[in-house]
Homo-oligomer: A and B are copies of this chain.
Amino acid sequence: MPSVTVENYLKRILLLSAGNGGLVSMGALAEALAVVPGTVTTMVKALAADGLVVHAPRRGVRLTAAGRRLALGVLRRHRLVETFLVNVLKMDWGAVNAEAEQLEHAISDAVLDRLDALLGHPSVDPHGDPIPGRQGQLPSQVYATLATCGLARALRVVRVTDQSMEFLQFAEKHGLRPGAAVRVTDRHLASGLVTLRRPGGRPLTLSLVAAGRILVEPER
């Protein structure tokens, strides 16, 4: 019963509220939703009137419990759909975000439950993004990134936090998907470069910014 627009706003607020204390600025929201800031102000006031968000004027917006519940539902649909598209339909993991952006609004609970069962109740999507549970549980473990981890340690990629097709295709090409073994051989702050090595692969150099988008955990 919430509109596609409302679902997109709520999901986006949820995703952006990770960084700050849950407060999302109008500007960041406008940018992410590709609308003009004035539009966001207007919509956020409407969402606040519906009890889905709290609007602190000139400071930002945060989800209420009800808003968060809805947002997690959308996110669950999004990530289960992505998992389906990759695992069952064998689509490219760089393409599925755009597809799921539409499908997340068209999947009923009945279909979602069947999909979830078909996929074996996965806990993460193809990018390693955690899939919220049916009751909205969202495990939020903190991981190191290739920009912050220790040097020379045996690591495993757990998540790639960049939805852009270019980055994902680049990562895929170099075997940097969740589960892949990797170790950082060198990190040079002045030049902003990180060098990695994958077992049986050529050394790979990328920027600190890019490295920061790849989350890792110590091997076993």
- Chain A residues with CB under 8 Å of chain B are 85, 88-91, 95, 99, 102-103, 105-108, 110-111, 114-115, 118
Contact = CB atoms under 8 A, between A and B. Distances in A.
Contacts of A106: 102-103, 105-106
A110 B99 contact: yes
Contacts of A111: 85, 89, 91, 99, 103
7 contacts: A88-B118, A89-B115, A90-B114, A91-B111, A99-B108, A99-B110, A102-B107
B91 A110 contact: yes
Given A95-B110, A110-B95, A89 B118 contact: yes
A99 B108 CA distance: 7
A118 B90 CA distance: 10
Contacts of A108: 99, 102
A102 B95 CA distance: 21
Contacts of A91: 110-111, 114
Contacts of A115: 89
Closest 8 interchain pairs by CB? Answer: A106-B106, A89-B114, A102-B106, A103-B106, A99-B111, A99-B108, A91-B114, A89-B118
A208 to B, nearest CB: 34
A201 B9 CA distance: 55
Nearest to A92: B110
Contacts of A118: 88-89
A108 B98 CA distance: 10
A192 B103 CA distance: 45
A207 to B, nearest CB: 31
A147 to B, nearest CB: 33
Contacts of A114: 89-91
